[in-house]
Amino acid sequence: MSNTLLMPKATAIWLVDNTSLSFRQIAEFCGLHELEVNAIADGEAAQGIKGVDPVLTGQLTREEIDRCQKDTSAKLRLAEPKVRIPVTKKRKGPRYTPVSRRQDRPNAILWLVRNHPELKDAAIMRLVGTTKATINSIRERTHWNAANLQPMDPVTLGLCSQIDLDMEVQSAAKYRPPEEAEGLRLLSPEESVGFGEDAEGTAEAEESDELDADAVFAKLRAMKGEETPSED
């Protein structure tokens, strides 16, 4: 058990209902604000949460509660845990894989290679407990059972935990090649200049068409005037 209070709000509710401790003492012990403890006492906060006795959970002693009830300036102290949990040391080297799971390692390696190409061989070795030669043979499809391999999630196979996989993927994320953005994009300077030139050319062409049309109609009117006989 760690030196951190479990279920602080539920513990605060129990202390408010079953002790004469001040709101400040309860707030400091539970890591809450004094106004929040006051709201709990008034029934305005933490509604629907059932109080938890910290004495039964081994986080507080009755003697400690009595001591702080007599002295409002005293602070509650967590009880020493009765069970010591050994600290897990960080594993070094490849993960040990049970014999019953070793036949699934090639499928897990194939899944990692396909779905997380940014993972380096060392990361794959840590996750599934394999060798660099096996990884290379699966990458190059030279594995003796390559034709029958099926990509399978190593977490589902029980070869590693989801937390370990996520940590390795996050560490290797910086090696992932950047993905090309799809959809709308801004025009380059060359494209924007070309677009402007095309628009100007089109406007000039339209203007020239209008001028040509006027010239044609004027010519027609002139020709019609020549064909009309003059009156003597």
Q: Is the dihedral of CA 145, 150, 155, 156 positive or negative?
A: negative
Is residue 22 one of the residues assigned to a domain?
A: yes
Lookup: tokens for 188:
């380059």
Distance CA 69, CA 75 (A): 10
With a CB cutoff of 8 Å and minimum separation 6, the contacts of 87 are none
Phi-psi bin for 223: left (phi > 0), alpha (psi -120 to 50), beta?
alpha
Query: Does the pLDDT at position 94 exceed 90?
Result: no
Which band of pLDDT confidence, cut at 50, 70 and 90, is reported for residue 138?
very high
Is residue 32 one of the residues assigned to a domain?
A: yes
Instruction: Provide the residue range defining the domain that includes 49.
Output: 8-70
By mean pLDDT, which of 60-64, 172-176, 191-195 is the weakest?
A: 191-195
With a CB cutoff of 8 Å and minimum separation 6, the contacts of 207 are none
Query: Does the pLDDT at position 129 exceed 90?
Result: no
Q: What is the pLDDT of residue 1?
A: 44
Which band of pLDDT confidence, cut at 50, 70 and 90, is reported for residue 232?
very low
Is residue 226 one of the residues assigned to a domain?
A: no
Q: What would the pLDDT profile of 204-223 be if each residue is shown by its tens digit?
A: 555 555 556 666 667 777 77
Q: What is the pLDDT of residue 18?
A: 92
Last residue of a domain, one of 153, 175, 197: 175
Q: What is the pLDDT of residue 106?
A: 92
Lookup: tokens for 69:
């009830």
Q: What does the CA dihedral 192, 195, 200, 201 come to, rounded to 10 degrees? A: 140
Distance CA 15, CA 183 (A): 58
Is residue 185 one of the residues assigned to a domain?
A: no
Angle, alpha carbons 119-123-129 (nearest 5°): 130
Q: Give me the mean pLDDT over the 98-104 stretch.
A: 68
Last residue of a domain, one of 127, 142, 175: 175
